[in-house]
């Protein structure tokens, strides 16, 4: 004889489990969605002196590297005129810039979410995506955060070649889709272990490329 009370209780338990799984899936961004959003919120930034990458962080504000805008007076993001709000490039590890495009704020759903609570030490070992526009071509490369450097910056190992113009590119957590930091510079590690903080030598040496990243938690984005 069927115990309907027990059967209904079991059915209710199963239904609750299904709802919990669906809710978890709904709140956890999948890998494809993370990559699509990252590409759609990253743009080329051009100045009267250089070029780099900028990403949308909310409203009409975009983030790039400080050395991309240093000394410049004219700015464009994705072909739209922009104004410099704040920047730092003092050689002490800070290398960021905040720019605002003219016109009404963009849709917040089209902006990347910053990760402000995670410390650089906690970021070590995480799988990330580096998104940039080197030489005007949108690029996404998988990478791994290697170590927290003494000055608070991060050393990251890209799994593909990056090039000039990726400075300011977003470093996105592959699990959460949040921005952990921005690319400050590239590196070439030669076979003797010597590190050169420059793009120079990419095509001449057989070393391993690495990148230096500034965590967003050290910029005004998270203050």
- Domain locations in the chain as residue ranges: 38-110, 112-222
CATH of 112-222, one of 3.10.129.10, 2.40.10.10, 3.90.1150.10, 1.10.260.40: 2.40.10.10
Going by CATH, does the domain composed of 38-110 fall within 1.10.10.60? no
Percentage of the chain beyond pLDDT 90 is 55
- Residue 66's pLDDT band, with cuts at 50, 70 and 90, is very high
Q: List, for residues 146-201, the tens digit of each pLDDT value.
A: 888 878 899 898 988 787 889 999 999 999 999 999 999 866 565 555 665 555 44
Evaluate if residue 204 carries a pLDDT over 80. Answer: no
Distance between CA atoms of residues 44 and 76, nearest Å: 8
Q: List, for residues 79-106, the tens digit of each pLDDT value.
A: 899 999 999 987 777 899 999 998 776 6
Torsion of CA 199, 202, 203, 208, to 10 degrees: 180
> What is the mean pLDDT of the segment spanning 22-37?
71
> Do 38-110 and 112-222 show the same overall fold?
yes
């Amino acid at each position: 004889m069927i115990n309907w009370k027990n059967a209904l209780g079991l059915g209710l338990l199963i239904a609750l489990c299904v709802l919990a799984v669906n809710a978890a899936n709904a709140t956890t961004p999948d890998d494809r969605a993370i990559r699509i959003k990252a590409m759609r919120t990253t743009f080329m930034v051009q100045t009267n002196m250089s070029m780099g990458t900028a990403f949308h962080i909310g409203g009409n504000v975009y983030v790039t590297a400080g050395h991309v805008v240093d000394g410049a007076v004219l700015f464009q993001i994705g072909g739209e005129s922009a104004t410099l709000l704040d920047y730092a490039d003092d050689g002490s590890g800070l290398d960021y810039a905040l720019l605002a495009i003219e016109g009404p704020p963009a849709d917040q759903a089209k902006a990347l979410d910053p990760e402000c609570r995670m410390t650089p030490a906690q970021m070590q070992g995480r799988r990330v995506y580096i998104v940039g526009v080197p030489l005007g071509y949108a690029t996404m490369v998988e990478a791994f955060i290697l170590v927290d450097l003494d000055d608070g910056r991060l050393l990251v190992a890209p799994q593909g070649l990056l090039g000039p113009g990726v400075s300011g590119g977003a470093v996105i957590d592959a699990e959460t889709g949040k921005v952990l930091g921005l690319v400050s510079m590239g590196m070439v590690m030669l076979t003797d272990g010597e590190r050169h903080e420059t793009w120079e030598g990419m095509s001449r040496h057989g070393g391993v490329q690495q990148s230096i990243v500034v965590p967003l938690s050290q910029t005004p984005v998270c203050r």
